[in-house]
Every structure is written in C-alpha cells, then in structure tokens.
Amino acid sequence: MGSFPQEEEKALLVIENPPKTKKGGLRAIPFIIVNESLERLASTGLLPNMVFYLGNEYHIEVATVSVIISLWSALSNGLSIFGAVIADSYFGRFPIIVVGSSLIFLGMTMLWLTAMFPQLRPFPCDEIDKYSCNYSPSSSQLAFLLSSFAIISIGAGCNRACSQALGLDQLDNRENSNNEKILQTFINWYGVSIAFASILALTVVVYIQDQFGWQIGFGVPTVLMLFSVLIILLGSPMYIKAKATKSLFVGLFQVVVAAFKNRNLSLPPMIHNGRDNYHQTHEPKILAPSENLRWLNKACVIKDPERELNPDGSASDPWSLCTVEQVESLKALLRVVPIWSTGIMLIVSMNQSSFSTIQAKSMDRRIISNFEMPAGSFGVIMVATFIVWLSFYDRAMIPLLARLTGDPRALTSKARMAISLVLSCTSMAVSAAVESTRRKMVIEQGFEDDPYAKVGMSALWLVPQYIIMGMSEAFHGTSQAEFFYLQLPKEMSCIALSLYTLELAGASLVGCVLVKVVDWVTSRGGEISWLASNINKGHLDYFYWLLACLCLVNVFYFLICLRAYEPSNHESTSNQSDEVEDGECH
C-alpha cells in the first residue's frame, strides 16, 4: 500500500478533532485498513482451492461444490446489509467490526479443525477404493463444515459493512472544502489495499495449501485472522466512534406503514416552511419534505396535534406519524436504488472468469520457455490492473484532470460509474472476439472433439479482457462507494457502503440464473449447449456476445437512471457546501 501525496496528507490532517479529543484523523486509518486487509487475505485465500478440498476430502460432487461455494460467496456479501443495520441502528461500527472479525476467526478455526481431525471428515477414498468411493460425509460432519462457512459469512457481513465506514468516520468533515477529495483518496487507497491482499491470497496462501497441505494451508489464514482481531482492538483508543441511531430500519418501515395509513389524506399547503404542518424532531435538519415521492410525505403530516403528539413533542404513535427526517431518509435510499441496480450486470460479466479459466487451460500458457502460467492464475491480472490503475488515477490522473477542469474531484462519481459500465461492455466484446478466434483455430486443427486438447494459440490473448475488467472494477467499486456515502444521510453510512457488497450478492445469484437459463434454452431439442463442458463444441463466444449486449443495454439504462435522479434533500441541510452540482456535494 502506498502513501498519500504530501498535499493530500496536509489536507487530511486539517480534519482531525480538536486536541482535547485526539481521536480520528490519519493515525487511526492504518489499524482499520490492516484489519480489513488481513480479513480479505485470510478469507480470499480459502476460496480457490475449496473445490478440491470439498471434492477430495468430503467426496462432494463438483456441481454441488459449485453451488456451495456460490451460496457461501453470496451469503458473505448479502449479510453485509444485516451488519449495516445493527451497526447503524443499535451498536455502532466499531463493536460490530470486533464481533465480525471474531466470528470469522471462530469459523476459520472450525474449518482448520476439519483438516486437523480425521473424525470430522469421511473416510479417505484411497483407503477404500479411490475409483469407486461411495463414502459421503455424515450429517454431523456436514453440519460442522457448513456451520464454519455460515459463521465466516456472518462475520464477513458484519466486517465488510462497517470497516470502510469506520475509516470514513475518522476523516469525514463536511465543513472542510477538501472533504470530498479526501474521502475519494481514502476510498481509492482502501480499495488498493484490499486488492493487494487478494493478490497475496491468490498466490502465497494458495501456494502454501498446494505445497504443505490443508492443515498448514488452513492454519495460516486462521492465524492471519487472529492478528486482524488484535489489530482492530489495538487501535480502539484512537477511533472516532459514531453513535448508533435508534432503530433506523424500523424507522424507515414506519414511514411506509404511516404513509399507507394516511393514503387518503390530502397534503397541506406549505406554511412557514412546513413547521406548522409536518412533524419535526427537536433540532430539525430538514424543515419540510421534498416534492418528489410526495406520497411518502403523508407519513409526517400532523392532522391533530393534541391527539398525535406527546407533551415532549414526540409522536404518540410512531406507526401513524413519522418525522420529516425519517421520510427523507427513506426517499434518499429509494432514489439511489435504480443507480445501484446498474452495477449488477457489470459484476455478472466479471463473474464469468471460470469460463476464461477453461479457455486458458486449452491454450498455450507458456510465458517463457520453462514456465507455464497456471490457468487459474490469470485472474491475478485483473486484480493487479485494479491496483495499478487506482494508484495511477489517484497520483497522476486526478491532479492532471483537476488542473484541466478546475474541479478538485477530477471526475465525478457518476462519470466514473458510466466509464465502468462502458468498459464492462468492451471487455465482453473482446472476450467474445478472442473465443471466436480460439474456437476457429480448434476446428481448423481438428481438435473439436477433444476437450483436453491445447490449441496453438497463446493464452496471452486473454490478457486484454482481464485488463479491461480490472479497470472497470477500479472505476465502479470506488465511485459507487463514494456516491452512496455522499447521497445518503450520515446516519445511514454503513448501509450506504454495504450496498456494494449487497450488489455482489445479487450479481452472484443473477449470474447463476443466467447461466442456467442459457444452458437450458440452447440445449433444447438435442442441440449442443453454448455452455457445454467441451467448450470446443459449445459456443462460449455467443454467450460472451449476449453478455456484451446486456451490458450495452445496461449503459443506456444507467443514463436513464442518471437523468431521472434528483439529489437528496439532506444535502442542502447538513454540514456540506450549499453548492450542489449533478446531485453531488463540493
């Protein structure tokens, strides 16, 4: 991980709390980044070889293994919304990170125990007959294994929902004119750190598993996770720990219920900025609800003050009368959902790397005469591109574009999201062209019926698509995180940042459905499926062209969502600049 530019470091130091608190600022950031980097290093290192562990040690069919791993990944990302809710509404970010990291450590310890004790696994096939092994795991063995996966997923959901938000809490000062640039820089370097950890996981940890076996291979990630827990605890005295608000999601649900109850109510005219008509908190940040999604405004209309309000001004029935802030928080979340949904197709396209691995295995993978690159290692190119491009963008592109445009942000988060979607479409088109060429050469060389044959085409032709995918992910992940964080109210920051991991979970499920549908449709009537096990007989290139078309449609869908998007009401009333351009704050 690199260091911040000198001028940015000076800007960051400005936002530290007054000397009496001595909390937050740059000195708290390393503990947070190291905690999450070690977590990703440990958990990512388990995935690549898990298919071999479950297949060889538990004798589980490959198709079932694929389902287990996909659901495990989707659960780990999907549970981030659970972590965000309990952090934002009940306990705060730091306690949830500690609990999440501890749960991951517990789950990894359980997984390591399955490698240490033969009693937790079925009989090994080589002791019976490795060619006709019928020994399946017992219910208790399978329950212990799946419990370890579930505990790791719950912990990952807690950790990933709050880690980045805790880091932003240390730096966020919306009265600082450089605030948005500071947050963007942190998000970029946070992403670089995670990507660098992923590269180590895909190389070093996987190598240890291959060379030293499962006991050491699972033991190393477990020890790394223990260090992750200790690191986050060590930095505790330095953190700014934002207090949780009361039942945030319950409050949002109350808005829906109250609006439905009052659906026949006519909205009152605006008088004195709405103070006389709408229910406010004691220190209101927003005086009146916004005009968009007006049907939700009925949730905060006061009809009978004597009956609906307590002496202290609170609502006597919060399921019938909500505050303006509650209404605007729900509106802010609903506004970003369409833009959030545009990222699902992008991630679906990137998640098809398993097909690229099969392609690479059928091609000439010699980098130099005596070294052949493993087929499964080509994904490292995408991660490396992610790191290099983010570093280049942060250190070189942003200063250059800032001088040319006069805007310190260089490119807005919306512009970067648009670029990422165009790149995803391009990567699928390149993938389709490369596969079409590979398949043509296979037929010309007479290898169509041999799924294990190697065609005389260098696997380096796959590198451009991985590079474009890496650039797409670099633009997409950081821009969405920044956009959601700035567009949603501060008390929803964990939820804002967990939307990306929820997007990952949704993309995993959508991708599984898409593959199943394409395989079923194209194999009807006895035809060979596009996604046949023998890719030489299938038409993987057609599948890539389908993804390219879907990604192109997604670009136009994003532009429609962007045109329809309106900034959140909270932007003009929080401690941000009053100047708003394109729905983003300066």
Burial of 387 (0-12, 13-18, 19+ CB in 10 A): buried
> How high is the mean pLDDT of the chain?
80
- Band of residue 544 on the pLDDT scale cut at 50, 70, 90: very high
Would you say 410 and 398 are in contact if contact means Cβ atoms under 8 Å apart? yes
Residue written as token pair 């008509």: 277
Residue 377: name the closest of 358, 402, 357, 363 by CA: 357
Output 491 or 541, whichever has higher pLDDT.
541
Q: Quick one: pLDDT at residue 526?
A: 81
Q: Quick one: pLDDT at residue 567?
A: 67
Burial of 407 (0-12, 13-18, 19+ CB in 10 A): middle
Structure token pair of residue 502: 């929820």
- Band of residue 286 on the pLDDT scale cut at 50, 70, 90: confident
Residue 584: name the closest of 446, 488, 490, 514 by CA: 488
Q: Is the pLDDT of residue 110 over 90?
A: yes
- Band of residue 578 on the pLDDT scale cut at 50, 70, 90: very low
Q: Quick one: pLDDT at residue 61?
A: 67
- Band of residue 98 on the pLDDT scale cut at 50, 70, 90: very high
Stated as kind and residue range, the H or E segment containing 163 is helix 139-171
How many CB atoms are closer than 10 A to CB 306? 6
Would you say 161 and 83 are in contact if contact means Cβ atoms under 8 Å apart? yes
Would you say 464 and 398 are in contact if contact means Cβ atoms under 8 Å apart? no
pLDDT digits (tens, 9 = 90+) for 405-443: 776 667 788 889 999 999 999 999 999 999 999 988 888
What are the structural domains of the chain? 1-244 (1.20.1250.20), 248-329 (no CATH)
pLDDT digits (tens, 9 = 90+) for 123-159: 776 544 444 556 778 889 999 999 999 999 999 888 8
Q: Is the pLDDT of residue 6 over 60?
A: no
Contacts of 209 (CB under 8 A, 6+ apart): 45, 49, 216, 217, 218
Stated as kind and residue range, the H or E segment containing 479 is helix 463-487
Distance (Å, whole) CA 200 – CA 440 = 36
Distance (Å, whole) CA 360 – CA 377 = 10
Output 532 or 430, whichever has higher pLDDT.
430
Distance (Å, whole) CA 416 – CA 431 = 22
Output 299 or 369, whichever has higher pLDDT.
299
Q: Quick one: pLDDT at residue 223?
A: 94
Would you say 485 and 168 are in contact if contact means Cβ atoms under 8 Å apart? yes
Please give the model's pTM, rounded to 2 decimal places. Answer: 0.70
Q: Quick one: pLDDT at residue 1?
A: 40
- Give the mean model confidence (pLDDT) for residues 315-342: 89
Stated as kind and residue range, the H or E segment containing 581 is strand 580-581
- Band of residue 234 on the pLDDT scale cut at 50, 70, 90: very high
Q: Quick one: pLDDT at residue 459?
A: 85
Stated as kind and residue range, the H or E segment containing 585 is strand 584-585
The listed range with the strongest mean pLDDT (1-10, 219-228, 305-314, 395-404) is 219-228
Q: Quick one: pLDDT at residue 174?
A: 64
Contacts of 146 (CB under 8 A, 6+ apart): 68
For 329-342, give one letter per residue: b (16+ CB within 10 A) or e.
Answer: bbbbbebbeebbeb
Distance (Å, whole) CA 427 – CA 473 = 11
Structure token pair of residue 367: 């980098």
Using DSSP's 3-state secondary structure scheme, residue 368 falls into strand
Residue 29: name the closest of 224, 212, 169 by CA: 169
Stated as kind and residue range, the H or E segment containing 216 is helix 206-234
The listed range with the strongest mean pLDDT (95-104, 210-219, 565-574) is 95-104
Q: Above pLDDT 70, what percent of the chain?
A: 85
